[in-house]
Amino acid sequence: MKLGLCIGINDYPGTENDLSGCRNDAEDWAAELTVRGFEVRKLLDSAASGAAIRTAIADLLTRAKPNDAVVITYSGHGTWVPDTDNDEPDHRDEALCPHDIASNGPLLDDELHALFSLAADDVRTVLISDSCHSGTLTRSSLPPGTRFLPPALFLNRATATTPRLRVKPTSKALLLAGCKDAEYSYDATFDNRPNGAFTYVALESLHTLPPDATYRDWLRAIHRSLPNDSYPQTPALQATTPQHRWPILA
């Protein structure tokens, strides 16, 4: 069984930080996964609340059996919050930003780790995140089109209740990220259509690879186009050695 969840959020009410390419990203990932035989669910804009994202991820991972594949794609804002349990060298927990972040807070990397632990052994779980992972971000001004949501916009209004668990490289999930922790992911436009720079390049690169290519091969292909002068973001792969050799989206 192959199960997919594609999340795309352009609309962030109460933040004045809307995006333009994230829904297209989710549609593009969903189309790719569908061609590859995945049963795909999409959460777009207001449907992508924190509760809905958590429930959908938990549902996929509890349904999956050994040797099944689960692929979750996220396109939207990324952020960080102060680390309160001293498990992060940079004293910040990275997080994804649901549609309702202004009222209900972010989805922390700690909680993602807890959710991924629900998967049975030998389930190939993949998270592809086209968002800013700004774990060491110190600048107060942002380049145009970045997918980073400053925590000051929601920390005073939202309460996040999340398990405090360390995200380790031995997580059950392989993470393919649009940039390194200290970088931004960019909204872009290709052929007059908004897309994430990472999503566009990742899918274009994927179509150049042979059927037996691995995630390590995919990352190398992506790095031929990113970073570049227009989009100075460095896609990153967090995975165990066996996960590096997994066949792509399979």
Residue 245: CB atoms within 10 A of its CB come to 12
Alpha-carbon gap, residue 34 to 31, rounded angstroms: 5
C-alpha 62/C-alpha 183 separation (Å) is: 33
Among left, alpha and beta (phi > 0; psi -120 to 50; other), residue 76 is left
Residue 97 a catalytic site member: no
Q: Which of 6, 22, 97, 132 is catalytic?
A: 132
Torsion angles phi and psi, residue 57, rounded to 5? -65, -45
- Smallest Cα–Cα separation from 121: which of 60, 54, 72, 65? 65
* Catalytic annotation, pick one of 77, 99, 113, 133: 77
Does the annotation count 132 as an active-site position? yes
Residue 178 near residue 235 (C-beta atoms within 8 A): yes
Cβ proximity of 100 and 35 under 8 Å: no
Of 128, 134, 86, the closest CA to residue 106 belongs to 134
DSSP code, position 178: S
For the stretch 134-145, what's the b/e string if a residue is b when 16 or more beta carbons lie within 10 angstroms of its beta carbon? bbbbeeeebeeb
DSSP 114-152: HHHTTSPTT-EEEEEEES-EETT---SS--TTB-B--GG
Q: Which residues are catalytic?
A: 77, 132
